[in-house]
Amino acid sequence: MSLLQVIILGIVEGVTEFLPISSTGHLILSARVMRLAQTEFLKSFDIAIQSGAILAVVVLYGRALIKDSQLIRRVLAAFVPTAAVGFVFYKLIKKFLLGNPLVVAWALVLGGIVIVVFEKLYQRRPHPDARPEGISYRQALLIGLFQSLAVVPGVSRSAATILGGLSLGLPRRTIVEFSFLLAVPTMLAATAYDLMKTAPAFTSAELGLLAAGFVISFGVALASIKFLLYFIKRFSFELFGYYRIAIGILFLVFSG
């Protein structure tokens, strides 16, 4: 993998991590377009650089999170279902799902259809203003179950949590911000667990590429978070649904 390819993947990760379009799916499809072989290093790279984007959440929300123990408890409660699913199915996910472009393409298309249909039914119904710390423990656990669907590449962690939260009656900004915060333990745990198993086999050059991808995704993700908060004030997620359908179909057509 060249430095230019690392830069491209870092930008892709930073842009897509918090949008409901699947960062993992876009990384896999981007690697396919650049003809990168799906090695164990590339699979670990795709997981690890997501922590760079998560660092952007820590920078933007860390102070508020540290000051609010109730919010921390709710984030951890939502993390439990995802952690359990990820731990149980880690080998299956790493061996058969990560790096599979057909799984990603179909997940993008089907997920896009779900988003479009959901938004048409949802119709931006008014909800009372609320903050993430107002989410109940029951809602947090259910949001965590929704997030666990994202172990399938292409499903999108943010889309699963956001649509799950909206279906539970949470305001749009509330669940979007909670999704940001829930990404912190989710992706840090996934990265730590994967690197614990794979990092000893990497060369110093490969570890340097990981570090470069981490830094790039962090910088781009700062802008991506601010864009999404701006976007949800004015639009629904329907446009993202159509985008997912279009890119999924295009990939199915041209890779067939």
State pLDDT tens for residues 159-211. Answer: 999 999 998 988 888 898 899 889 888 888 888 888 888 888 888 998 899 99
For the chain, what percent of residues have pLDDT higher than 70?
93
Token match 């298309």: residue? 109
With cut-offs at 50, 70 and 90, classify the pLDDT of residue 99: low
What pLDDT is attached to residue 140?
A: 93
Average pLDDT over the chain, rounded to whole? 86
Average pLDDT over residues 227-255: 89
Range of the domain at 73: 3-255
Q: Cβ neighbours of residue 82 under 8 Å, at least 6 residues apart?
A: 144, 147, 148, 150, 151, 186
Domains identified in the chain, total number: 1
- Give the whole-angstrom CA distance, residue 79 versus residue 183: 9
At residue 130 the predicted structure's pLDDT band, cuts being 50, 70 and 90, is: low
Phi first, then psi: give them for residue 136, nearest 5 degrees.
-75, 165
pLDDT given at position 123: 66
**What is the full DSSP assignment across 46-65?**
HHHTHHHHHHHHHHHHHHHH
Rounded Cα–Cα distance for residues 178 and 143 (Å): 10
DSSP label at residue 202? S
DSSP-derived 3-state class of residue 2: coil
Contacts of 226 (CB under 8 A, 6+ apart): none
User: Chain-centre distance of CA 117, in angstroms?
Assistant: 21
Q: Which of 231, 181, 229 is nearest to 59 (CA)?
A: 181
pLDDT > 60? residue 82: yes
Using the predicted structure, report yes or no on whether residue 128 has a pLDDT greater than 80: no
pLDDT at 63: 80
List pLDDT tens digits, range 26-70: 998 899 889 998 888 888 888 888 888 888 988 988 887 777 888
pLDDT at 124 over 70: no
Examine the pLDDT at 155 and tell me if it is beyond 80: yes
pLDDT at 188: 84
User: How much is the average pLDDT of 78-88?
Assistant: 85
